[in-house]
Amino acid sequence: MSTLTALATSSLDVIVGHQQPSGAYPASPTFSAYRGFCWFRDGSFIADGASAAGAVGSADSFFDWCAGTLAQQAGTVAAVVAGARDGHPVPDDQMLPARFRFDGAIADDDWWDFQLDGYGTWLWAVVEHARRHGRDLGRWAGAIELSVDYLVASWRRPCFDWWEEHSEQVHVSTLGCIGAGLEAVLTAGVLDGDRARRAQQAAAQIRALVAERGTIDGHLTKWFGRTDPDASLCALVGPMRWLDPADPVAVGTVRAVRTSLAVDGGVHRFGDDVFYGGGQWPLLSCLLGQGLLATGDAPGARAALDWAASTATADGLLPEQVADHLLAPAHRAEWVERWGEVATPLLWSHGQYLRLWHDLGQP
């Protein structure tokens, strides 16, 4: 067994072994700030990696958790839709949160919670899983409809990004995740006539807006009005295929991330990152790898997988980030003092590793 395959095996063991009876994936089972919580975004990418690696039941269970959690929030979704329709949108703190407890309950602590990307990401991931394994999407139909209604009513709103920062901005990766989710369920044919019409309209408007305001110099940008990229944008090219890999903007986005955010194989989140000193993230190297693979650079994708594998501990655990190349080293100590050492394992790192490992043909 190759070293890469051994890490894939242990990655699947980490994911399945830590999955909760409810189906939720803990973001990190030991990290102080993440312990006890599951994010729709992280969990959807984790489930996608597990599904690609053949853990069908694990992914099913996660999507069941998503459906059950959303069912508990049907009243909130109705209020959000009504507020948007009547021209009185609900405040940010009354929107759906990004993370939930394992039983689907909402935490009462203070967090950067209003994020829309996860609800689009789970739609994309559940459709991808159903297509891959011949699952009937009717099992999750009610939750899919709730998510579509919520996103159609809310997609224009500024919110926190993937990294729980800058709630005042409109983030291109967030819009792409929403668009990918809406287009996935439309392609799957699981929406009724009026809901499908509204979803199609929103998806088309998102594409037009990103082309107009979120693209500069041939690549996607971090947010409207900013010119540099964010590494999360690679997800829109690689696994999610929201951008056709043959599109010059897709090629340009992958190139921009590689040129400005990748150093010796490791990928930073964005240029002015200070979280834990602004280190390099294995999951982002894997997302860049998927973007490279999609746009025709298989050797580059393999190098990204190799680098991600090199960050594993002796026990086969992948961290959230490593400190080999810090953008803001003076800021690392403040985060260690606040929350302890970097999250290890981060299940999202293992899920993203599995997906790239699978896409490269299990090298």
CA distances from 152 to 1, 18, 196 (A): 47, 33, 10
Of 356, 268, 269, the residue nearest 309 (C-alpha): 356
Half-sphere exposure of 297 (CA within 13 A, CB side): 17
Give the end-to-end CA distance of the chain in Å, rounded to a whole number: 10
Q: What DSSP assignment string belongs to 135-162?
A: --GGGGHHHHHHHHHHHHHHTTS----T
Sort residue 241 into left (φ over 0), alpha (ψ -120 to 50) or beta: left
Q: Strands, E, within 226-274: which ranges?
A: 262-263, 266-267
Whether residue 53 contacts residue 352, with contact meaning beta carbons closer than 8 Å, is answered with: no
Which residue(s) pair with 215 in the sheet?
220
d(CA 18, CA 26): 7
> What is the DSSP pairing of strand 266-267 with strand 262-263?
antiparallel
d(CA 287, CA 301): 9
> For the chain, what's the residue count?
363
d(CA 174, CA 181): 11
CB atoms within 10 A of CB 362: 12
d(CA 180, CA 41): 13
> What is the DSSP pairing of strand 219-220 with strand 37-39?
unpaired
Contacts for 75 with CB less than 8 Å, ≥ 6 apart: none
Catalytic residues: 161, 164, 320
